[in-house]
A and B are shown apart, each in its own frame.
Chain A
Amino acid sequence: MSRLKFSILFFLVLFVASESRAEEEKVAELKEEFNEALLLRPLPDRKVLAHFHFHSSAPPTRTYGRHHYLFPKSIYQLVHKFQVREMELSFTQGRWNYERWGGFEPISSSYAKPPGVELWAEFDVPHHQVDDSWKNLTHALSGLFCASINFLEHSTSYSTPQWSFRSFSGKLRYGTLPREAVCTENLTPWLKLLPCRDKAGLSSLMDRPSIYRGYYHSQRLHLKSDEFDTSNMSTGIVLEQTLTVVLQPNTFSEKISQPSWSLSSLFGRKVSGKCSLSHSSNLYVQFEQNLLSKVNELWGKSEASKNEILINESVQNNPLFELSLPPKRVIKEVENLQKEGSILFEFSIDNYDESDPFDLGLKWKLPVVWSCRQAPLRASRFLLGSGNERGAIALSMKSTRSNNIERAGFDEKECWLRVGIFQVVPWYVKVYYHTLEVFLDGELQSTMDNIEKIHVSPSEDKVSPGVMEIVLRLPCSVKTAALTLEFDKGFLHIDEYPPDANQGFDIPSAVVCFGDFLTSMTFDDNSLQNIPILSKLQENTPVISYTEVLLVPLTTPDFSMPYNVITITCTVFALYFGSLLNALRRRAGEEERLLKAKAAKKTGPLTLMLSRLSAKLRGKPWEPPQQSSSTRSSINYKLIVKVALVAGIGVAWHYYFQ
């Protein structure tokens, strides 16, 4: 019996032990991770795109606990305090040039941001608490990043997109500050979130003068958490920090259209080894497909062999360019429509250190001109009209290339191009949505034909901004499409004007989204999914572009003279009140009689004044004193009584309060 018991106990112990081991394994599997990567890409207009990508992840608290050694504590607390499901904050200076730097690729769709600050966040709280969470979040972020994000707290500055911007849940809030100046004071706290800051690894390239000298600078923080999901499939918090800069390499005497560059010439620094806390630390150089196809045209090589040649020869005797270091591997993008994809050269900086810093250089051998892939329509937005009373917003879209329309259901007759537009307009620009007009190739269309879906929440004075979400359905053959909306300019209270009121007010960028067009890079190798930057590039994202920020000048009142306005207006009102009351209570007959009495009998001035006073007090027509002596004496008697009464009250008051 005891044996049996023992054996059961033994099995139990064994079972528990094995289970705990399995849990341990699971924990070991869920580990904090930090990855860094830098993607460099030559751009057609002699510039270079540098895209820093830092990826930190923390496993869910339920299995892992609250203590982290890599993941920034402030972000973890932010997520838990405000129950953030997803959030993106970007600080941008300059405008992404969709025409020259590309509009149909993962980087432009996901990392090109509107000027200033853009923040959107989705919360995991009940609907009525979302606004409170948003307000608290803006204040927290404002403190974290030394920026005036707290201005997004007011309900006039953020909006709730219904369906056009990412989410359908209604728990997403979106706000932008187009005029926010971005500088190092925002970058430093952002770098603080990285485990190595800018002391080691790829982030040590971020030399402030060279970064801020660039044409475009976008510093972004994307946060995704499913901490609050009940399912077991939760992945914890993923923090993605990217910095996208477009730099102009310093070149002087070169005749070739493309400048050669190296890391040290671009950033003024070299990479002295990887951040030792990072799991992977790679550098990629990307060459676009249009560039490669141009090369092939130039060299007239046969279709079949071109890419292989390019890849094979890429290191040493590539006809076009020369990389100063041999790549670790070459990753080729696979595209479905028998088109060549772009090529990524991967370099690892694991083996470099202080004494032997990593410095990659690219040298062009031949002049080459190419263009980037464009979004089907290039959107730009501008204002119509003059004067400070009214105007119109026009959003014009020009077709970039007709052959760019490569869609699943490509049919000549039923070919439609869906364009989603999400536009937030501050309340002082009072848009008349019924004046919405759509022009196709310069011809006015009856509006509802080309609108597939529309949602408008008009602005409320001093409460909420106006939001317009619209899906246009345009024929594929369209060359230009334009959309106009008329508006009236509002007039603000003097306290509501910013310090520099005559500069004008900004209308934030509109988001133009081509929902049918997805950009992603496809690679053969499945193992590439483990590298965050590459898995990000492989995600399907709809093609998105931001339009220009509009500057609307508003009329200003005179700020210097509120007192004058108040006093003069009040004077006029007093004039009205006094003169009308005077006209009403004047009795001409009485005055005449008074004059007569004065002439007839020269009474003492004091008695006359007293009697007039008494008449006023009683509010009755003043009886001429000579009518009868009895009335006069009664007046005097009453007057004496009144004076005595007043004196008595005065004396009583005096004694009472002593």
Chain B
Amino acid sequence: MEENSEIGSKRKKLGFWKWAIASVVFRLILSYFSKNLNLSSRPEVSTPLTSLRRLAEAYWLKQLSMSPYSGSMYHGSPLLLSILGPLTVKKIEGQPSHLLCSLLSVVADFVSAILIRATGCSLVTAHGHNLKSLGLDKLFKDTEILPSGDIAALVYLWNPFTIISCIGFNTSPIENLFVVLSLYGASAGQIPLASFGWVVASHLSLYPLVLVIPVIFLLGYGLDAPPRKLFFQSNLRDGEGRSADSVDLKSLPNKSIKTTFFSWRRVIFFFLWSSIWISYLLILCAISMKEHGGLGEMFKRTYGFILTVKDLSPNIGVLWYFFAEVFDFFRKFFLIVFHVNILFMILPLAIRLNHRPCFLVFVYLAISSMLKSYPSVGDSALYLSLLVLFVNELAEMQFSFFLFCGYVGVSLLSPVMHNLWIWRGTGNANFYFATAMAYACFQIILVVESVSAMLNYDRKIRKICNSAKV
């Protein structure tokens, strides 16, 4: 990923907007011809949850006044159906039928990139301020602080995974947009926006539910910072030693004091807003599902489908093959084990990384996209660009080249193995599963290495602070 970031920094010099617009144009061109690329039925791109083809089927059934969930085809939200459904049918005269949906996902991608950029910019300023308030700005003067927001946004826009999932006729760009919206809202302190993004993202794909913890930290403590213990020490030191001889120092102690205490007021506001949004969404869903079995049916067909891994068609995750092969009487046990695996790491990560909520968002997204029941490359695209937000902190991450090669290798091998198995009949399911396994391993290494790099970075700052104190 460092490779990406370096390329990105070069691009920055060429101008962010130029490249962003170029990527949008590129997407538009590709989406015009995407019928020929046949990406919409790739298992890497569209899962049973995100496929727009299934959404079109549900819309058709709904038009015949049947439940959109009848027939185990559609497993998404009824609201998304009523928004996107008409788009799948409506045609512009003389244009391909999928164009409107593709346009929508291009817009969603672009907005997400802008939001990522805004988040990144505030992260970079926070980073600089924190270093200054710790009195370490002189030490880091020789290393340039990269504009991680621009780089992350460009990585998001130019990542092949994002491009593929954008033109692949599925809903993951929209799901990503709401995740990013919640992150942006929380980092900018806009509580209604953050809660809206969080509620809609969890409603669409369930897994962003765990993001409530980083969002609370973001609202409570503010943006990513070195451990708070250091601020106490430096505040004390400031109070003893330094005099107010600089312009900056007037605001800085205030800021550091503000970040040290957990602001319960904003968290309570967040929960209030969330409950408003949740009730609003549930009422809307109940209205649209009134004739088709109500909310119970919706929960069963969406979240129930996600949690019980009913569809065993191949994807880039590992659960499909596992549950196709596992003995039936162990099925429930393993379902619980795998889902608890996601939940189990939440608490340790939250304890160790509570001062870095944005990074926590990245880790949670990476873990859930690795362990979720129907992963797609759209999820990977999101967490990879969030990773780039921390170029400054993760500069010393290990194995980054190895991981980069691994990602490239897996994304080349996986379609080949899929083709051999499904289309040619010469391969075997085990080969395809092996690539999925390798992908999971690379994701694990990425998560573990980035977490330990982040911890090492904090340790380094603490060490420098301590040595400065002594």
Residues on A facing B (Cβ under 8 Å): 386-390, 427, 430, 432-434, 454, 456-463, 466, 488, 490-495, 555-558, 561-562, 565-566, 568-569, 572-573, 575-577, 579-581, 583-586, 588-589
Contacts and interface: CB of A to CB of B under 8 A. Distances in A.
Nearest to B425: A388
A49 B55 CA distance: 51
Nearest to A494: B325
A493 B323 contact: yes
Contacts of B323: 493
B296 interface: no
B72 A491 contact: no
21 contacts: A389-B41, A433-B60, A434-B60, A434-B61, A457-B70, A457-B71, A458-B73, A459-B72, A491-B311, A491-B314, A555-B422, A561-B325, A566-B325, A569-B322, A573-B338, A575-B441, A576-B341, A577-B345, A580-B451, A584-B349, A584-B455
A586 B452 contact: yes
B452 A583 contact: yes
B321 A576 contact: no
Contacts of A558: 325, 428-430
B348 A581 contact: yes
Given A555-B421, A555-B429, A588-B459, A456 B441 contact: no
Contacts of A458: 57, 61, 66, 70-73
Contacts of A460: 70-72
Contacts of A580: 345, 444, 447-448, 451
Most chain B CB inside 10 Å of its own CB: which residue of A454, A462, A568, A569: A569
Given A461-B72, A466-B71, A583 B448 contact: yes
A432 B61 CA distance: 10
A581 B452 CA distance: 10
A460 B421 CA distance: 26
B313 interface: yes
Interface string B129-172: 00000000000000000000000000000000000000000000
Nearest to B337: A573
Contact of A389 (B320, B422, B428): B422
Contacts of A432: 53-54, 56-57, 73
Given A490-B313, A576-B341, A579-B448, A565 B60 contact: no
A500 to B, nearest CB: 16
A461 B326 contact: no
Contacts of A461: 72, 310-311
B459 A433 contact: no
Q: Ordered nearest first, which 6 A-B pairs have the shortest CB separation?
A: A458-B71, A434-B60, A387-B423, A562-B325, A461-B72, A583-B452
A162 to B, nearest CB: 12
Given A386-B423, A565-B322, A580-B444, 15 more contacts: A388-B422, A430-B72, A457-B70, A458-B61, A491-B313, A491-B320, A557-B429, A558-B430, A565-B321, A565-B433, A572-B440, A580-B345, A584-B451, A586-B452, A589-B459
B344 interface: yes
Given A461-B311, A573-B341, A584 B352 contact: yes
A56 to B, nearest CB: 43
The SS class assigned to the B binding surface is helix
A555 B53 CA distance: 21
Contacts of B318: 569, 572
A33 to B, nearest CB: 48
A501 to B, nearest CB: 12
Contacts of A557: 321, 324-325, 429
Nearest to A569: B322
A462 B440 CA distance: 29
B61 A566 contact: no
Contacts of B352: 584
B202 interface: no
A269 to B, nearest CB: 49
B312 interface: yes
A583 B61 CA distance: 50
B437 interface: yes
A584 B64 CA distance: 54
Contacts of A386: 423
A433 B57 contact: yes
A568 B433 CA distance: 11
Contacts of A585: 348
A564 B61 CA distance: 41
A614 B292 CA distance: 61
A493 B328 contact: yes
Given A495-B328, A572-B444, A459 B422 contact: no
Contacts of B325: 494, 557-558, 561-562, 565-566
Given A456-B64, A466-B71, A555-B422, A494 B324 contact: yes
A413 B378 CA distance: 55
Given A558-B430, A572-B440, A491 B312 contact: yes
Counting chain B CB atoms within 10 Å of each CB, which of A427, A459, A562, A583 scores highest?
A583
B359 interface: no
A588 B54 CA distance: 51
A572 B60 CA distance: 41
Nearest to A462: B310
Contacts of A463: 72
B351 to A, nearest CB: 8
B309 to A, nearest CB: 11
A386 B428 CA distance: 17
Contacts of B314: 491
Nearest to A588: B459
Contacts of A588: 456, 459
Nearest to A557: B429
A202 to B, nearest CB: 49
A569 B321 CA distance: 9
Nearest to A436: B60
B415 to A, nearest CB: 12
Contacts of A430: 72-73
Interface string B443-470: 0100110011001100100010000000
A386 B423 CA distance: 7
Contacts of A565: 321-322, 325-326, 433
B100 to A, nearest CB: 16
B256 to A, nearest CB: 23
A586 B452 CA distance: 9
Interface string B39-68: 001000000000001101101110010100
A586 B428 CA distance: 41
A390 B41 contact: yes
B430 A583 contact: no
Nearest to B431: A558
A568 B325 CA distance: 12
A359 to B, nearest CB: 55
Nearest to B447: A580
Interface string B333-361: 00001100100110011001000000000
A568 to B, nearest CB: 7
Contacts of B337: 573
B449 to A, nearest CB: 8
B190 to A, nearest CB: 31
Nearest to A576: B444
A569 B437 contact: yes
Contacts of B429: 555-558
A84 B25 CA distance: 67
Contact of A572 (B53, B421, B441): B441
A580 B54 CA distance: 37
Contacts of B338: 573
Given A575-B444, A583-B448, A562 B71 contact: no
Contact of A583 (B64, B328, B455): B455
A575 B318 CA distance: 14
B59 A434 contact: yes
A575 B53 CA distance: 36
Given A387-B422, A456-B64, A460-B72, A492 B437 contact: no
Contacts of B322: 565-566, 569
Most chain-A CB neighbours within 10 Å: which of B73, B313, B320?
B73
